[in-house]
Amino acid sequence: MTNNDGVTGTPVQAHIRLNDSFITNQERKVLHWLAPRMPDWVTPDTLTAFGLFGSLVIFAGYALTFFNPAYLWLATLGFVINWFGDSLDGTLARYRKIERPRYGFFVDHIVDAVSEVLIFLGLGLSPYLSLELALLALVSYLLASVYVYVTTYVNGVFRISYGAMSPTSLRLVAIAANTLVFIFGNPLLPLPAVWLIPESFTMTLFDLAVTGIIIAITILFTVQSFNTARELSRQDIATRQKKQSRRQRKRAAPLPAKSTEEKTA
C-alpha cells in the first residue's frame, strides 16, 4: 500500500509484535496453555466474536448499575469474556498455523475500536462516572490506538504495551475498580483548587481514577508521538544523505577507457 507521497509502508504481515508489560509472561503462558485445549469448532473468528460479546456484556453491566450496584459483577464478567476472546484469537491462529495476517489485523482492530466505544459509553451511562469524563477517556484511548496503528505501518513494529500499560493490565485495573466500588461505594472526594480551577471541587473515586488514566495516556501519547516523529525524521534524513552520496560518487567516477578499436574507428 502506497500513499500519495509515494512512501511505501511495511506490509502488515511483516510487523514485529512487542508486548512487555509486567504481566506479559504470565499471560502468554495461560494463552499457550489454552490454545491446544480449544475444541475444533472454536476458530479465531469465533473467539473474536466472543470478545465483542464480552464488550456488550460490559456495556450492559455498567448501564444496569443504575438499578443495582451488583451489576458491577456483570461488567467484571464481561472483562473476563472480552480478554478471553480478544487475547486468544491470535494465539489460536498461530498455534493451528492458520494465520491470515492482513485480515486478522484489520478485523481484530476494527472490533477493538467498537469494543472501546461500548465500554466507555457503558461507563458514562453508569452512576459512577460522568459521561463527559467517559467520552474524554474514549478520545484519549482512541488517540493512543491511532498512534499504535500508524507506528505499525511506518516502521513495522506493533507495540501492544507501553511500560505497565497494556490492554490486559487496563482490564485488571477496571476489575479492581469495580470490586472496590462495589465494596466501599463511590465516595465524593473534596479536592483543593488547582491551576486553572480556582475553587475547590469534588470528584468521585471513579472520576479521579479515570482522570488519572486519561492524563497518563495523554502524556504517553504526546511524548511517544514526539519521539517517534523525531526518530523517523532522523532516519529519513540519513537515507536521503546516503542516496545523495551515492549519486555524487557515480558522477565523480571516471569514465571507462575506450578500447583501441574504438579509437581507430
pLDDT 10s digits, 2-20: 344 444 444 444 566 656 6
pLDDT class for 1, splitting at 50, 70, 90?
very low
* All cell numbers assigned to 249: 560518487
CA 108 – CA 154 distance, rounded (Å): 19
How large is the average pLDDT for residues 71-88? 95
pLDDT at 7: 43
Q: Which residue carries 459509553 as its cell?
A: 121
Average pLDDT, the chain: 83
Among the listed ranges 103-112, 129-138, 256-265, which one has the minimum average pLDDT value? 256-265
Higher-pLDDT residue of 187 and 64 is 64
Burial (CB < 10 A; 0-12, 13-18, 19+), residue 3, is: exposed
pLDDT at 5: 44
Percent of the chain with pLDDT over 70: 81
For 208-220, write each residue's pLDDT tens digit: 888 888 888 899 8
Q: Which residue carries 480478554 as its cell?
A: 83
For 225-250, write each residue's pLDDT tens digit: 999 899 889 988 988 888 888 877 77
**CATH superfamily ID and name for 12-186:** CDP-alcohol phosphotransferase transmembrane (TM) domain (1.20.120.1760)
Beta strands in 71-229 (DSSP E): 157-159, 188-191, 201-204
Among the listed ranges 9-13, 109-113, 169-173, which one has the minimum average pLDDT value? 9-13
How large is the average pLDDT for residues 162-188? 83
Do residues 217 and 141 make contact, with C-beta atoms less than 8 angstroms apart?
yes
Burial (CB < 10 A; 0-12, 13-18, 19+), residue 17, is: exposed
